[in-house]
């Protein structure tokens, strides 16, 4: 089975359409979304419709919860808070109840999926380094766990010790090791590479591949500016920060 695992779309329709077209070309049979469909970008509704059209599984993200008043936003920076207010105003009651239906954690036969962290997923703790990864490894019931949230693609492998990997293209899964994979962000990458990011999991070949794709950044930026959202949210797309 080939899974496309996507996360952190953030209202960026241009990036989402590019990723879905690539996943279809690569014969992904299921598309699993790790949350944050909305927030920051100018097309929250269009992204919700697109995700609904392939709706398989969507885990809840902190920006999804913020836009539907399900989480505290006092820790959000000014740009994020402005985007939350703008995004909430775009959503219909139907959109809101769709978002409210997302579970925190999804368990598939071979892997677990969560937006941020398996330890109290509703607290959205980040996994930036091997230290952060330790409790998540302890909480994992499967050998593989897919996450998003930091917008930085990376992997942690646990054999005798825990090793982090950055800038990965592909990784072979060893049967007796455990892994945490961050799939990166579709709509707002933050690893200094502005291309959209997602992962393909091939459970027959036992590989994970990170795909990076150019998309129409200029159109996404134009819409952010025209919507009256903070200019910085448009600017950061082009530097991948």
Chain residues in the site for Zn ion (CB under 5 A): 8, 36
Phi and psi torsions of 170, nearest 5°: -150, 150
CB-based contacts of 216, cutoff 8 Å, min separation 6: 14, 18
Shortest Å distance, C-beta 94 to Zn ion: 23
Q: Which is nearer to Zn ion, 39 or 178 (CB)?
A: 39
Our CB check for Zn ion shows the closer of 22 and 36 to be 36
Alpha-carbon gap, residue 186 to 184, rounded angstroms = 7
Closer CB to Zn ion, 173 or 233, in the complex: 233
Dump the DSSP string for 62-78: HHHHHHTT-S--TTS-H
> Based on CB atoms, which residue is closest to Zn ion, 57 or 206?
57
Q: How far is the CB of 7 from Zn ion (least distance, A)?
A: 7
For residues 17 and 217, give the distance between their C-alpha atoms in angstroms, rounded to a whole number.
12
Residue where the block lists tokens 């913020």: 66
Q: How far is the CB of 185 from Zn ion (least distance, A)?
A: 6
Which residues neighbour 96 within 8 Å (Cβ) at sequence distance 6 or greater? 68
* Gap between the Cα atoms of 97 and 54, Å rounded: 18
The least CB distance from residue 39 to Zn ion, in Å, is: 7
- Asked if residues 13 and 43 have their Cβ atoms less than 8 Å apart, the reply is yes
As measured in angstroms, the least distance from the Cβ of 216 to Zn ion is 20
Nearer CB in complex with Zn ion: 23/189: 189
Which string of b and e fits 124-143 if b means at least 16 CB within 10 Å? bbebeebebbeebbebbeeb
Closest to Zn ion by CB, 27 vs 126, is 126
For the CB of residue 206, give the shortest distance to Zn ion in the complex, in Å: 28
């Amino acid at each position: 089975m080939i899974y496309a695992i996507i996360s952190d779309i953030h209202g960026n329709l241009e990036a989402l359409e590019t990723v879905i077209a690539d996943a279809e070309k690569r014969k992904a049979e299921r598309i699993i979304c790790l949350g944050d469909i909305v927030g920051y970008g100018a097309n929250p509704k269009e992204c919700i419709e697109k995700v609904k059209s392939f709706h398989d599984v969507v885990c809840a993200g902190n920006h999804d919860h913020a836009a539907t008043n399900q989480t505290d936003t006092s820790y959000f920076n000014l740009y994020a808070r402005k985007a939350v207010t703008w995004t909430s105003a775009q959503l219909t009651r139907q959109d809101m109840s769709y978002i409210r239906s997302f579970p925190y954690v999804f368990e598939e036969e071979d892997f677990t999926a969560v937006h941020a962290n398996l330890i109290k997923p509703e607290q959205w703790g980040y996994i930036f380094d091997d230290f952060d990864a330790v409790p998540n490894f302890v909480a994992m019931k499967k050998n593989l766990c897919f996450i998003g949230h930091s917008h930085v693609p990376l992997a942690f492998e646990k054999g005798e010790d825990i090793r982090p990997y950055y800038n990965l293209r592909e990784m072979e899964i060893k049967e007796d090791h455990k892994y945490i994979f961050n799939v990166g962000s579709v709509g707002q990458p933050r690893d200094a590479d502005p291309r959209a990011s997602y992962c393909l999991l091939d459970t027959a070949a036992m590989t994970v591949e990170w795909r990076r794709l150019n998309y129409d950044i200029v159109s996404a930026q134009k819409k952010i500016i025209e919507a009256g959202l903070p200019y910085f949210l448009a600017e950061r797309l082009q530097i991948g920060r």
